[in-house]
Amino acid sequence: MKKGMNIKMIEMLLNYQFMQNAIISSSLISLICGVIGAVVIEKRIVMLSGGIAHASFGGIGLGYLLGFEPIVGGIVARPQRIHL
């Protein structure tokens, strides 16, 4: 196909109202999904790091309570493997 024919084909498709609506709606949805996806991923990572921190804090407190090194308690208490 020649380059001129491709442009003519696009112009012919854009003459239809439903094609114009489809392009506009798919563009808007792609922007919205990109923003929502980034927020969801960010929130999951924040929740994951909060869980690790709270588990470590429990180990540090247990270390103080039982009289051994708090850092060791924090390292032992944190999750060993993270499943995403």
Domain ranges of the chain: 3-77
What residue type is 34 in one-letter code? G
**Count of C-beta atoms within a 10 Å radius of residue 75:** 14
CA distance 12 to 20: 11
* 49-55: long-range contacts, CB 8 A cutoff, minimum separation 24: 51/79, 52/78, 52/79, 52/82, 55/79
pLDDT score for 81: 64
Q: What is the mean pLDDT of each run of 10 residues along the chain (84 residues)?
A: 74 89 94 84 74 85 90 81 58
Task: Report how far apart, in Å, the C-alpha atoms of 63 and of each of 31, 47, 66 are.
Answer: 49, 25, 5
pLDDT score for 29: 94
